[in-house]
A and B are shown apart, each in its own frame.
Chain A
């Protein structure tokens, strides 16, 4: 029980003290899990980060579940995840309720309109960064363009697009391997 609580507290601290999630969480994870608690080696952490990235869901939650499971089994995974989730739940619920109260305020309206401009700029910047990282071959560019057009102009469900692109990736690799073997 003590160890489960420890898992909860460590991931509560990581969730409550890092902004942004995903990659920005790596230094904090390294400090807490590798240097302070010695639960993982640095290679273990990178492995579990790799798994967190190539599985569905929030990367931080995936990492928390994985580390928790490796330490204390299924219950460990659940406690770590609860720890990771709790700060977000508390902070965001408070802010959401607070903002809704003042939504009619004129000044808040002006402020939020200004904030919208930044959100667009930040998100556009995210897209540019992602494009640089993910468009590494002509195949990737084609997939990206086709999926973009389908998402913009048709009603094809997003889930189906994700599944189809995964299948396409596998088929392409199998073909290129067969060609190499000939």
Chain B
């Protein structure tokens, strides 16, 4: 139990230290954890993303709390969140104290010139993993496409490309899809 607490804290500390670009950037790391430990499954991770997007608060914090609760109950949520936040508090305090004009520094800018496209790629690969477990079902070791889910996903993605619909809150889409899921028995 004590070892698990330290492990949970340590893993989320690492995420807080290396997930550059906020909430969505924690996704590839959260996915790594499904491969490394049996804390939660990819299906549960998909639920976490849905809940985190449709409740108040920063998505990254919500996902960390959820993952922690899945792993170790209420206390786990506190531990994971504390781990995630700790590097921010330390790094930002140092920057606020010692580095005027940090975000204008040319080395920082140059590093971000490389990091930004890399983070896009990392998130894309994590999203691919989520799509794979969400849009396909396993049967006898083979991947079978879940047609209803795929059609709904493509439709909503299409809607999201329309400027006015894009402004709608994610929770609206999530509630609508939950309703459709019940009505059409996904």
Contact = CB atoms under 8 A, between A and B. Distances in A.
Nearest to B23: A21
Contacts of B69: 92-93, 96-97
Given A61-B85, A161-B118, A170-B111, A120 B135 contact: yes
Interface in B63-120: 65-66, 69-70, 74, 77-78, 81, 84-85, 87-89, 91-93, 95-97, 102-103, 106-120
Given A92-B69, A120-B131, A126-B127, A55 B95 contact: yes
B118 A57 contact: no
A5 interface: no
Given A56-B16, A69-B97, A107-B182, A131 B177 contact: no
Task: Select the residue from A84, A133, A161, A169 with max chain B CB neighbours within 10 A.
Answer: A169
B88 A158 contact: no
Contacts, number: 372
Interface of B: 14, 16-24, 26-29, 32, 46-47, 49-62, 65-66, 69-70, 74, 77-78, 81, 84-85, 87-89, 91-93, 95-97, 102-103, 106-125, 127-128, 130-131, 134-135, 146, 149-150, 152-154, 156-157, 160-161, 166, 169-171, 173-174, 176-182, 184-186
B110 A65 contact: no
A114 B58 contact: no
A139 B128 CA distance: 23
A54 B122 contact: no
A1 interface: no
A65 B152 contact: no
A89 B81 contact: yes
8 contacts: A16-B57, A22-B59, A57-B87, A65-B89, A111-B178, A115-B46, A118-B156, A120-B127
Contacts of A118: 50, 152-153, 156, 170, 173-174, 176-177
A60 B81 CA distance: 13
B18 to A, nearest CB: 5
B114 to A, nearest CB: 2
Contact of B29 (A116, A119, A140, A158): A158
A167 B114 contact: yes
B96 to A, nearest CB: 4
A58 B186 contact: no
A95 B117 contact: no
Contacts of B70: 96
B121 A145 contact: yes
